[in-house]
Chains A and B, each alone.
Chain A
Amino acid sequence: MIVFDQVQKSYQVGGRAIPALHPTDMTVETGEVFGIVGHSGAGKSTLVRLINLLEPPTGGRILIDDEDITGYNPAQLRAFRRKVGMIFQHFNLLSSKTVADNIAFPMKLAGIYSKTEIRERIEELLARVSLTDHANKYPSQLSGGQKQRVGIARALACRPTILLCDEATSALDPQTTQSVLKLLADINRELGLTIVLITHEMDVVRRVCDRVAVMDAGRVVEMGPVSDVFLHPQHPTTRDFVFESESIDHQELQEDLQKANGRILRLTFKGESTYQPLLGSVARKSGVDFSILSGRIDHIKDTPYGQLTLSLVGGDLNVAMQEFEAADVHVEVLR
């Protein structure tokens, strides 16, 4: 478990303290995938680097499994860092070492593994990230996705309990992003590893995260389970991110709504109700006519969800509302 207790960070620039992270409380549970989303400069990079003290905090306490790591001496800190893997946007592999040597590097630095142990572990990790045939290649001979797989294998080498991902998919194309995210999800499930990942893409959060924190200007402005934050965003920044990820142009949507007649509702389905043929039966029972203004069906991690914006005309609106609520659908009246 990672606990932030009033953790803050500021940089001294020309004698003035510029805050990068305002005092923040946050808890990441063991074994969950925790997303931190924000625009560049929002402080998410700083936040993730506080967890392994690549950036020392200027105030507050950071507890990892109930131990305050901010008081560690250099030797304790180095031992602690071996238990925290990290992967990066630009992979940061050593260009002078082969794939196998890159993966072996953290184990050699630790100095507690025998040659046989290292060799066996490399085999095992290469198989996990499906790069067995590339052991003796140099990073420059690999594609971006393959490089990130090496990064992941290297981060797992010393069997860490926490994995930090710093924009790990931002330099990859959509297809490669998907396969890397799937790999991260598999690792999380099979090894029970806690994953903290930062990204500027809400889509990444939607696919793999259990909970999410939204950052803006050095503050966490919204935090909660992904389905809550994603389906019912409260803070303007969060809304921007959600709309962005659904490629919804806010202006355009408003214009479309202007043209529609009658009541406008937004229905949010989650889980099994997503697949129920609800609209037809509600229309029959209440006598309302509906037209669909926008809609989408997708998954949040493994949970299906749907969101529909409807305009309703005629019939008995109250009956329709009751029917929706009885079917466990979240209804929002937009107009």
Chain B
Amino acid sequence: MSRLEKITRRTLLVGAVAVAGGVAFGTWRYRTPYKNPLLANLNKGDAALSPYVLITPDGITLITPRADKGQGAYHAQALLIAEELDVELDQISVTPGAPDMAYWNKALAEEASEFLVPAGGFMQDTAQIAVSAASKFIGLQITGGSTTIPDGFDKLRAAGASARETLKLAAAEQSGVPVSDLRTQSGAVILPDDSRLPYTELAARAATLDPVQDVPLREPSEWRLIGKETQRLDILPKSTGTQDYGIDMSMPGMVHATVLMNPSQGGGLGKYDTSEAFKIRGVSSVVEITGGLGIIADNTWRAIQGARAIEASWPKGPMPDTMEAHWQALSDSFNDSAADSRKRDDGDVDTALGSDAMTAEYRAPYLAHAPLEPLNAVVRVDNDGAEVWTGTQVPRFLQANVARLTGLSPDQIKVHGQMIGGSFGHRLEDEVVKQATEIAMQLKGTPVKLTYSREEDMLHDFPRQVAMARMRGSVKEGKVEAYDLSIAMPSVTGSQMARQNQTVPGPDSQIVAGAFEQPFAIPHHRVTGYRAPELAPISSWRSVGASSNGFFYNAGLDELIHAAGADPLEERLRLCNDPLSQKVLEAIGEMSNWSGPVPSAGTGRGVAFTKSFGVPCAEVVDVRQTEDGLRITDVWVAAEVGTVVDPVNFENNVAGGVIFGLGHAMFGEITYEDGVAEQENYDLYPSMRINQCPEITVRGLENGDRVLGVGEPPVPPAAPALASAIFALTGERMREMPFSEFVQFA
């Protein structure tokens, strides 16, 4: 075990054991803080100055507990700590740390409270406090909801500041120079004579001090790293093939495994014949696990070949037989008994609509997450503990699940977070870890590496929700007068949390997220959510409810604006009642040199706006007709995030989010026949390729007080902006995704 592993290993005895030479407090206190997990097993001379900063004579390690799945979370978290700690990014290493209560996600918990209450106001405030406390109690160390930056912005800087001031105190004791005459730079305390006391040499003394608390944070004008272009910590390994991901894990004695699960999710284990599998060289055993089989071999490919050689018949799962039945279930949900929430009801919608309202219906299909790294996990189960090596956004859930399966207690389960090759929400689920655990329980003491084939990964994804919306509206004197939007979908939150044995009472705000809270003062405006029954099991997909609702809301509004004879951008600006959102719309107009939906012959231009995860985001999309079909030529995108913490990551996440949103709107669809997904690899699940990629111009606005994350907000406006552009060019309304069913893309 490495020294660091030893240090970061979680133990419940932390408060009771004598800690050799170590002391630690957090500046992240929230009423009564959790104990600092780094205190366990500190060696003499090491200092864990908060749950996020570990200094040993060998070096400085920053703990970055939110998972990195490509969004640059390790880098951004390290940057926030380093800003106040006064270390250079090439002087530190980072580690995700172990699952621990101390790393709970407060920002996500506050977002989650939306699920529990029907409306804003006092009720919601009370619930938020309650949910914060409850989430803290269960220690939701979740990466999601674009919360890494909002959750960490103050907390991580404060951790760095506290460690810095404590190191200065140690330097003052050692040198006899008063703290007020000391400064810090590049991992050292600097004395008035310019001599340097490296942090690593001060660690032992710092460890004997009470860390300095409540240090004021630096003003933005003093920032060295925040808002500046820095080189991502992982850019060298990711450009040389030397970055290890979970799928690259190897260890002595490890066996390779894959699974053959019932292709009809939830159908359970059927009859099977393994005799052909054992003819494959290297296949050593086939074991039963929940819902399928684990195939063990001495090589990944041999395990996959073994799985393919098994003949099996599978019971059908609980899903409807046909895709038509899925849509019918949504259609049937627009009724009072399925009503879930009405979080917006302005004016008098029914009177304003009268008897000749415009109507339209919209559809959004199931979508796979399909990150490029197939799901994988290494698990070893022993009599007195278990270890898990995997990339995960939910380390605490995963730990609890492994404990439940093995009969061990959670503190006996060590989780080693790994770098993740893309997620988009895929790693919010932990089925692969449960399956690897079930296999490993049958091979006690042997590390089992479970790797999904691409086909297993897509067949057993829990996809983005399927959803349907109905719009009614009216216009008056060139303006949008009434807009009534009804949305039906199964509950993502309910489906996802049920797999973690958690129930979520009350309405699911994700059913209307990206629609009910939009900053448009339409005189008569209503948004109603209807909760369809669970059809396919579903999960969070980059931007969750807003991924379908951003399309629905903008598509309906676009039709009304057109009927009013108004300009799509001008009318949104006129209706907008939020100053920050208004600035985003003004910015997109200026960036794209907006002159209306047809900037020149043979082209079409569309605009859309969605506020999601607190971020107002607007996009303008240009399309052009070519001999080979429609081509997206340019996209402009503006997002308000308070502070752009890391401009490289910001640009990359925003442009990537646009491409993700456009690519799925163009081509993406998972359909089910007899309960089985019909798309099991990228040939049947296309997404945008480099030859289809437009020029993308990104601007981050920093007018607001709240610092917000941007992994998800660029996704929702992409599809409706494209739909609006296609309408401007062809006159055809895109009311259903994917659009490739109706138009040819070049």
Determine if chain A interacts with chain B: no
